Amino acid sequence: MSSTYPADEFEHPGEDLPVGAHRQPPSRWRPVIPFLVILVVVPLLAWGVSYLLQRRDAGDDAAQSAPPAVTQQSGQSDARPTPSPTPTPTQPSAAPTAPDETKPEEEENPELGIDYALTIEVLNATDISGYAGQIAADLEAAGFTSVIADNTSGWITEVNTVFFTSAEQEATAHQVASIAGIDSVVLDPDATGGEGIVVLLVE
């Protein structure tokens, strides 16, 4: 038996038909497509990630800046003046206020302004022996430390008189007159020679 078969029409295609026409030739862009995808997709992904990060940072900044605004509002509310309480009228005291019993310093200390170191001359113009010495002793006993007793004549006065030089000596002059028992006290710088006190005894 022979294994050779006669050729049929499928083994001899027509001469006008292209050989392998059922296959498409390979595309020239196929090797380039992966690079194009990388060039397009990767920048888009990078832009998307950057956009998301920016939005998240903006949200964090807004969240961090919110508390100071609240604090400022709180400070403004705290700065409002608080109403002052209405003063309660005080009731008058039932017990009357005691009058001030403090006396003037001059009344408490009658010797205020007295100069016990001031020079005092006691002049005797009478015929009574020792008259000036007696008055001088009384003045020294009262605390005066500079007392001079002497005799004199030629004074024109009719009563015993205490002469003093200036207004500052007036209190001292009245104290001397009180001790000596004399009523007449006269401001006369000429009679005293411009200093101290002179006690003139004429009666």
**For 95-146, what is each residue's pLDDT tens digit?**
555 545 544 444 444 567 899 999 999 999 999 999 999 999 999 999 999 9
Q: Phi-psi bin for 20: left (phi > 0), alpha (psi -120 to 50), beta?
A: left
Higher pLDDT, 28 or 200: 200
Q: Residue 84 has what pLDDT?
A: 62
Higher pLDDT, 29 or 66: 29
Average pLDDT, the chain: 76
Query: In CATH, what is the architecture of 112-201?
Result: 2-Layer Sandwich (3.30)
Among residues 160, 146, 158, 155, which one has the least CA distance to residue 190?
A: 155
Q: Residue 97 has what pLDDT?
A: 54
Q: Residue 74 has what pLDDT?
A: 47
Q: Any alpha helices (H) in 13-147, and if so which ranges? A: 33-78, 105-108, 131-141
Q: Phi-psi bin for 76: left (phi > 0), alpha (psi -120 to 50), beta?
A: alpha
Percent of the chain with pLDDT over 70: 59
pLDDT band at 23 (very low <50, low <70, confident <90, very high): low
Q: Residue 57 has what pLDDT?
A: 75
| Residue 145, helix vs strand vs coil | coil
**Alpha-carbon span 161 to 122, nearest angstrom:** 10
Q: Could you report how far apart the first and last alpha carbons of the chain are, in Å?
A: 209
Higher pLDDT, 147 or 82: 147
83 is written with which tokens?
């109403």
Among residues 202, 199, 203, which one has the least CA distance to residue 144?
A: 199
Whether the Cβ atoms of residue 197 and residue 119 lie closer than 8 Å to each other: yes
What is the identity of the amino acid at 68? P
Task: Write down the pTM of the prediction.
Answer: 0.47
Average pLDDT over residues 63-87: 55
